Structure 1
Amino acid sequence: MSDVKKIATRESYGNALVEVGKENPNVVVLDADLAAATKTGTFKKVFPERHIDCGIAECNMTGVAAGLATTGKIPFISSFAMFAAGRNFEQVRNSIGYPHLNVKIGATHAGISVGEDGASHQCNEDIALMRTIPGMVVVCPSDDVEAKAAVKAAVEHEGPVYLRFGRLAVPVINDRPDYKFELGKGVVLREGKDLTIVATGLPVAECLAAADMLAKDGIDAKVINIHTIKPLDEELIIAAAKETGKVVTVEEHSVIGGLGSAVCDCLCANAPTKVLKIGMNDKFGESGAAVALLHKYGLDAEGIYNKIKEWA
């Protein structure tokens, strides 16, 4: 995919904040001394009076955002996923989730593709954490187009939203006229009859490439992009499972509590189906180049292809 345009979704996040900021004067952005990395600095340049740097105090930032939300503002709090969801969990749960306030959480640098920052910063648990908070919408966009659409949808949605973005540049796969983003609705990217691949975030593009590799071996794989993990598009997943008989979930996240768990919960209750979960298998990451780590842990096209071929 070297000839395909690639953009990191954290870049998309920063650019999208400017767009929604122009459309809605109530949008305010808070950061925890990471504006350059989270790309909220892009918003700050255009709207300095609506950008608040709270310093290295993520929990306090969350409380400030909660207060702003009670005044009618639409605050976006921003930090690395490890801090926005991990360090911040109690405050997100009690100050945003419990009162169901209209706060949006922009979590960047998620997953092992953070690379050289290592296991301490490679958050593979955030989707699981945020899924457990009642009323929290959880979104993990797959590319630039989807990330921008997700930010806009988050502004339009009344209530808390967790948005997961990455550091590594990923292929733009949704740049087409018929693309439509809707919270809670999955997108079928490829039809197939032998099995269904359900993916979210960075691995979506890799799954499309893996499906092409599987096709050469006579395995016709349907590929579904689930950008909204909560609420999950259960109707689409159940229909695909009944149609193909096998389901593979792929995520740059732990296989415990993330997309795979959500899909298994859905299918167990509605359409028992054989499922393979591909992700981080109860392991911490490690320091290294992002692309090399994705390959080592089987989250690139080759790794996904090999795991499905062996399983199917």
Structure 2
Amino acid sequence: MWFTSDNAAGAAPGVIEAMARADEGPAMAYGADAVTERARGLVREVLGAPDAAVHFVATGTAANALALATLTPPWGAIWCHDHAHVEEDECGAPEFFTGGAKLVKLAGGDGRIAPAALDAAIGATGGAVHHVQKGALSLTQATEAGTVYSAADLRALAGAAKAAGASVHLDGTRFANALAATGASPAEMSHEAGVDILCLGFTKNGALAAEAVVIFDDRLAWEFELRRKRAGHLFSKMRFVAAQVAALLEEDRWLRLAEHANRMAADLAAGLSALPGVRILHPVEANLVFAELPRAAHEAARAKGAAYHNWAGDAGPDHVTVRLVCSHATGADEVDALLAACRAG
């Protein structure tokens, strides 16, 4: 019963085998090899972006921070949600790599930036030399609350940012889960919506350590390469990172894995909703479930070995707020076991 994070899951089927195949003999270093070039081609094909620059790093923090540094000068504002990963969980990496750009937090229910909040922030940014200037809008897909933006939502928010002269970054660490939830195409959810740089996540969806940074504006590509090298994220044996991406994109494995994780989360939420005293805190659209559990149910689940995170929230003395995350490796038996343990409480 492991629901702490989709980062906790092991490699998806085919990933380690792909890395082993990439180990057959020598290859050119620093991404100048056939495996990496094939992975780049698959990313471009999936996104319907034949001219996009595609670069690989090993962590989502590196992807986001380097992408935002490419888009935002040190005197720029990065508009993001109150609870965006770049704000709460990256140890100041965006500020560090941008050389001091200011993260401006925006409100919005269920993890999504409210259009009115963005409009207000745009209106309050720029102008006199005393003020931080317009830089970039950072969106998270799926959100930290486990919800998703529709393609129309993305277009509207990105359009407002672009009209103000700002760029658009999409933290797509759970991009596959959002696609599986909405049925939108990868193109509709990225460059067709106005995204300049997409950080396309694979680690949470079955890779060991692999993320792709997809740059749709070719004027930004060389700067990103320089920043990646200077930051120490240009791996000499890049083929082992790229092989993971290729293995997941082949035959739409990445989408099938995300669909499974989403389905497990939906089943878990439905089962919890049927229990007395349980409240689901956000719509369950991707693979995360936030809930208030009766303290007795929480303690019973813990006693049975359930692993998940307690979450910030004023649930009162008789309830506990928790976050439960399903992954490609979550089994229906684990969901059933957790629900049974909660019932026993």
Q: TM-score, normalization: structure 2?
A: 0.37
Structure-1-length-normalised TM-score: 0.40
Instruction: Select the structure with the greater relative contact order (CA < 8 A; seq sep ≥ 6).
Output: 2
The answer to which structure has the higher strand fraction is: 1
Larger of the two Rg values belongs to structure: 2
